[in-house]
Amino acid sequence: MNTENFGSSERLVTAAYVRQGAQGRRGHELLLRALLEQGKCPEDGWDESTIELFLHELAIMDSNNFLGNCGVGEREGRVASGLVARRHYRLIHGIGRSGDISAVQPKAAGSSLLNKLTNSVVLDIIKQAGVRTVTNCFVVPMATGMSLTLCFLTLRHKRPKAKYIIWPRIDQKSCFKSMITAGFEPVVIENVLEGDELRTDTEAVEAKVKALGAENILCVHSTTSCFAPREMFSYLSSELKKLADLHNERLLDTPHNPISLAMSLKNLDENNDVAVTQLGSMLFTRQVSGARVVPRGSVQTVNNYTFKGFMSHANDYSCAYLNAASAIGIKKQDVDIFLKRLDKCLKASRKGKEKSVNEICTSNTGTEQCEDQKIQT
């Protein structure tokens, strides 16, 4: 309820009573405001109604609770059981991003805000406990990276001489940082491109094991499976292929991947990262979550290791692309809405590119050269 809604309520209920109710809500809101502004532990504990109101307000800021959202990613905050969802106040997405637990999760503004407030309140409590010089803190869950680190440290007892971990490349920061944190040296094995599909170079893995010596290698740290595929995969595949053909793109041929699909983005000018990443922003602002655009040539440094073409899992993948997945819980409606919005975004991007070319032609080139540019476009 906001001021406008309270005003509308006065047409249905006596105005004096509505104003009294508004004042009651105002009391809760003042407590929320104090927490947001100060980030400190309240001197007086909140009652359950205030806590539940706050958690509900945060939850509806997460994309899985948006009324018009369609999710085509591998992790979209879907919950099969309403009981489980209610138990967690529908805060499903979690916090942080791969390899950076303190980062804001774009799909979960509410959960990210709750995380920041948690760290701030805990810091205040630590100071009140007497540690006045502390300047920062954060509450750490046992997530992917830390769990892997503990596994590596446990395996160290079985291979005390080992100092290397063989790592077939997968561009996910947490799994890479976990090896560094555990005190091992990652040995990166680049993938092999077979058509459009990246496959593990098993021969290179075997050769590296022989070169370094098995006793010096803790393990082979690989990604062998992912989320279970669902029946919507075939539908998503066929419909995405139709859309790709319509825009003179193509559905990448990845027969060994039963969950994720990718569509090329060659016509968005793959040498221009801005044009490609802008498509991702356009989809996100239109409440399409999970669809990921991967430009060519991006470089990322993780713990002093530099990866070219980061997020494409290869140094020089053949094209920029857009990724979508058919994960558990996805519905036909999600696919249809995603394709409709993607179609509109691609058309808008195309118009923007044509406008840019026309402006360049008008201001900087002659008629003949201008016509050549238009034909190439």
- Give 21-27 contacts, CB < 8 A, sequence gap 24+: 25/1
The pLDDT of 356-377, averaged and rounded, is 46
Annotated binding residue 199: no
Give the right CATH number for 232-364 from 3.30.70.360, 1.20.1250.20, 3.90.1150.10, 3.40.50.300.
3.90.1150.10
- pLDDT tens track for 213-269: 999 999 999 886 666 656 789 999 999 999 999 999 999 999 988 888 999 999 886
350 is an annotated ligand-binding site residue: no
* Residue 26 known to bind ligand: no
Residue 331 among known ligand-binding residues: no
3-state SS, residue 274: helix
Is 98 one of the annotated binding-site residues?
yes
- The CA distances from residue 15 to 5, 22, 23, 27, 28, in Å, are 12, 10, 12, 19, 20
Domain 39-139 has CATH 3.30.497.10: no
107 — phi, psi (to 5°)?
A: -85, 0
125 pLDDT more than 80: yes
Quote the CA–CA distance of 66 and 57 in Å, as a whole number.
Answer: 12
What DSSP string describes 100-153? BTTS--TTBHHHHHHHHHHHHHHHHHHHHTT-TT----------HHHHHHHHHH
Stated pTM of the model: 0.69
Using left for φ > 0, alpha for ψ between -120 and 50, and beta otherwise, residue 332 falls in: alpha
**Treating both helix axes as pointing N-terminal to C-terminal, what angle do 109-128 and 48-59 enclose, rounded to 10 degrees?**
140
Please state, in angstroms and rounded to a whole number, the distance separating the CA atoms of residues 306 and 135. Answer: 31
Whether residue 367 has pLDDT greater than 70 = no
Ramachandran category for residue 103: left, alpha or beta (phi over 0 → left; psi -120 to 50 → alpha): beta
pLDDT in tens, 35-58: 999 999 999 999 999 999 999 999
**pLDDT, mean of residues 309-319:** 90
Looking at residue 227, its pLDDT comes to 66
* pLDDT band, very low/low/confident/very high, at 376 (cuts 50, 70, 90): very low
Q: 296-304 contacts: CB < 8 A, separation 24 or more?
A: 296/270, 296/271, 296/320, 297/271, 297/273, 298/273, 300/171, 302/99, 302/173, 302/176, 302/177, 303/176, 303/177, 303/180
pLDDT-above-90 percentage for the chain: 62
Question: Any binding-site annotation on 250?
Answer: no
pLDDT over 70 percentage in the chain = 90
Q: Is the pLDDT of residue 273 over 90?
A: no
Tokens of 339: 């394709």
Q: What is the pLDDT of residues 78-121, one digit of tens each?
A: 888 999 999 999 999 888 887 777 888 888 999 999 999 999 99
* Three-state SS annotation for 28-52: HHHHHHHHHHHCCCCCCCCCHHHHH
